[in-house]
Structure 1
């Protein structure tokens, strides 16, 4: 029996105060619904159906890279109606998993436990115990089985005292689910078709409805407003920080730590305050990341230090390097071993070999730099003519004096020296000294300008 997922994602999310569908708002730099889709892929669902309604073009464009079955809910008549229309194209012998696009952190482990707990021909509902259950549907049991689920607006005073709440996540067989949904009505305060009403119908058919309880509130927390999204972001980041610290990562302040993707690391790695990791980031042993750095889709090898306020994107940094402070490494930058990139240096699409230095206030783009090269302060590679990019090649043991401009295409060969303030437009031979000598102009008749008085 194959497993098919139905993700309910049709709502506007009025309280988000946004033109964007609620499920496209991001948690850890990824749309909430993508978190759910990724979990469905982890558990190998045969199909993933997304029920959508508000801003249909925006939804499809945002998720165009995903392999999905799209179910359009023209009128949002409730969760029961949404699942019912999504079942129309499902094999009735399959199993259905119902999830929510605004409940992003449901885990593979919990879903598998839910699937394993489903009684034959019955339903498994995911529930959670909350000390303050206000606003949630209550789980009403008899002999440890779910007798019915009542929504907050329809609950009486005794039912409101129940602390076990409905998360909406369930597993049931497609043929039974279709039958039960055809027998529910919208006689309730919201005038909607509640998915939870299938519980009474299933009981009337003699089927068991079981509760599978999770003690992790984070994974069943829904989002209805930007304040809730922000709170869930911090909860999630705190969870990640604790997980990484348990695995050996030293984080100076877990409340000022963000991972928006995947982070792997070796031993004795230290991360200071306000560091953000995005995409896939790998850190070797004894790496130290100072405060206020952003690192995206990059690899940093052993014993390397990234100093404060540095930005690193799609780069590979070797061992024993020092980068920063205030350095920017743009995509396709590769630093080999024992390289130093200093303050206010920007590097793009460049490889720098062992023991070379670019210490201060420089721009190096589309360049290959050899070993033991020193790039002086204020040096720039002039790699762009307004239309095309050109390559600069600097071989081993070259010294570039401060405030030099290197106009590509250009080859500077081994052991050569460029004098400070030079503009280099032609290739430089091995061990050659090249500089531009401009005449010095002196005048004894020059008068320094004075400030003109304001007559007003």
Structure 2
């Protein structure tokens, strides 16, 4: 069986991005740009991948930390694509039959196209297969020069092309399938006798032809796949295309989107069938949303696990939280990291939680802060309640047991425990533990001074 390894070129800085961050580490529809072609390569059947790194190589390495199927080759000085591949060849497995070469700034390449190109390469018996596309405006691309039999005889770069060659609309997409043994020898013989004074990978076609070896092309059906990202305008366009792919896949799996062009979902997010996503929703990271959920407009959800039948109302923000079934959140609520809500919990408008657990059926309907708190079942948290968890040095915990009723405008000064079935009167500041089945009330006596306003006038 044919064994394939991949080389992904990711050494350049990307000066047209006008950024202090290396180009391939800019996020595109969620993950860093470099993750998209690497993921497509592995999905197409590649067994190992060598990333050619240079600028800010530690950032790229950290992106794939722990991935034993990914290795790295350093291109200390960027002398062209051919030089980059030459740097990577010592890392390629000696028993690999084929090397798939990709650019790290082409996030739109799909698994389907790569798989089809690898299949065409194997079936044709070609030494080199070049990925190509036909575009309306070929300016800036290398032109694919073929003979009458359709064999690729040369790839001519824009600056080196003749007037006739510049009229060719079939262009080099930057992807190659190459016989490993041939490639190892070919990149060692490259020269930089060209306008750019670089070592072009495209010259391996000329070498193959000189040896009488077959060079074929594989043309992708959608020319957008070959689009490289060189600046922020192109990055935004690539993100738009990828978001649309993500949304279409989810919709075909049973998710409703009121306006898919106004929904921003990152790769890796999972959403169950019959859930409805409204415009302006942003769902990121490793979020999992269950079935029959309603995610309303202008919500932000990051790295959350949300069970079935949950309503996340307009303007709410959820981060690194767990939400149980049939819960309701918002509008304008904020679940900060460490929040865990059980079934049938209600978090209302302008409620903020942080490292808070709420038991089944409990509710905090509005204008409340619950931080570092464990709250039992069927607890009512009144409007304006605050768990005072920070003493200026350390955070402390509040425990509210099952069945407690907390009135409005209550402050719970942690560490403090409220026993089950107790009632905290409105306006109370709780500074010591409350026994079970008790009423806690701490208010200054009310004084009415009759006629006071008349005397002031």
Please, which runs of 5 or more residues in structure 1 have no aligned partner? Answer: 450-456
- Provide the residue aligned with 2:430 in structure 1: 424
Task: State yes or no: 1:88 paired with 2:90.
Answer: yes
Equivalent residue of 1:31, what SS? Answer: coil
2:372 aligned residue (359, 363, 366): 366
What CA distance in whole angstroms lies between the structure 2 residues aligned with 1:282 and 1:69? 30
Written as runs of structure 1 = structure 2, the 5 A alignment for 1:210-249 is 210-249=216-255
What CA distance in whole angstroms lies between the structure 2 residues aligned with 1:278 and 1:354? 27
CA contact (8 A) 2:29 2:267 kept: yes
- Provide the residue aligned with 1:71 in structure 2: 73
- Provide the residue aligned with 1:357 in structure 2: 363
| 1:378–1:128 distance in 2 versus 1, CA, 3 Å | same
Written as runs of structure 1 = structure 2, the 5 A alignment for 1:35-54 is 35-43=36-44, 45-54=46-55
| 1:364–1:47 distance in 2 versus 1, CA, 3 Å | same
**Cα distance, 1:211 vs. partner?**
1.2
1:437 aligned residue (427, 431, 443): 443
Equivalent residue of 1:179, what SS? Answer: helix
**Cα distance, 1:250 vs. partner?**
1.5
CA contact (8 A) 1:92 1:173 kept: no
TM-score after normalising by structure 1? 0.92
- Provide the residue aligned with 2:347 in structure 1: 341
Please, which runs of 5 or more residues in structure 2 have no aligned partner? Answer: none
CA contact (8 A) 1:110 1:214 kept: yes
2:141 aligned residue (112, 136, 147): 136
**Cα distance, 1:9 vs. partner?**
1.2
TM-score after normalising by structure 2? 0.91
CA contact (8 A) 1:136 1:165 kept: yes
| 1:264–1:47 distance in 2 versus 1, CA, 3 Å | closer
Equivalent residue of 2:387, what SS? Answer: strand
Instruction: Tell me whether 262-271 or 201-210 shows the greater mean CA deviation.
Output: 262-271
- Provide the residue aligned with 2:120 in structure 1: 117
What CA distance in whole angstroms lies between the structure 2 residues aligned with 1:102 and 1:16? 12
Equivalent residue of 1:132, what SS? Answer: coil
| 1:46–1:248 distance in 2 versus 1, CA, 3 Å | closer
CA deviation string 1:23-42 (max 9, x = no partner): 11110232111223333444
CA contact (8 A) 2:73 2:91 kept: no
**Cα distance, 1:46 vs. partner?**
4.5
Equivalent residue of 2:326, what SS? Answer: coil
Equivalent residue of 1:238, what SS? Answer: helix
What CA distance in whole angstroms lies between the structure 2 residues aligned with 1:101 and 1:387? 47
- Provide the residue aligned with 1:127 in structure 2: 132
Task: State yes or no: 1:23 paired with 2:29.
Answer: no
Equivalent residue of 2:266, what SS? Answer: strand
- Provide the residue aligned with 2:106 in structure 1: 103
**Cα distance, 1:75 vs. partner?**
2.3
What CA distance in whole angstroms lies between the structure 2 residues aligned with 1:27 and 1:262? 13
- Provide the residue aligned with 1:398 in structure 2: 404
What CA distance in whole angstroms lies between the structure 1 residues aligned with 2:167 and 2:247? 35
What CA distance in whole angstroms lies between the structure 1 residues aligned with 2:54 and 2:6? 18
RMSD of Structure 2 on Structure 1 (CA): 2.4
Written as runs of structure 1 = structure 2, the 5 A alignment for 1:136-155 is 136-142=141-147, 143-155=149-161
Equivalent residue of 1:227, what SS? Answer: helix
Task: State yes or no: 1:180 paired with 2:181.
Answer: no
CA contact (8 A) 1:16 1:22 kept: yes
What CA distance in whole angstroms lies between the structure 1 residues aligned with 2:171 and 2:222? 13
CA contact (8 A) 1:282 1:299 kept: yes
What CA distance in whole angstroms lies between the structure 2 residues aligned with 1:47 and 1:263? 25
CA deviation string 1:319-366 (max 9, x = no partner): 222111111111222212221101111111222122211011111122
What CA distance in whole angstroms lies between the structure 2 residues aligned with 1:190 and 1:447? 92
Equivalent residue of 2:264, what SS? Answer: strand
CA contact (8 A) 1:315 1:331 kept: yes
| 1:171–1:277 distance in 2 versus 1, CA, 3 Å | same
Instruction: Tell me whether 438-447 or 223-232 shows the greater mean CA deviation.
Output: 438-447
| 1:416–1:89 distance in 2 versus 1, CA, 3 Å | closer
Equivalent residue of 2:395, what SS? Answer: coil
What CA distance in whole angstroms lies between the structure 2 residues aligned with 1:32 and 1:85? 22
Question: May I ask how many residue pairs the two structures share in their alignment?
Answer: 450
What CA distance in whole angstroms lies between the structure 2 residues aligned with 1:217 and 1:239? 15
Instruction: Tell me whether 64-73 or 429-438 shows the greater mean CA deviation.
Output: 64-73
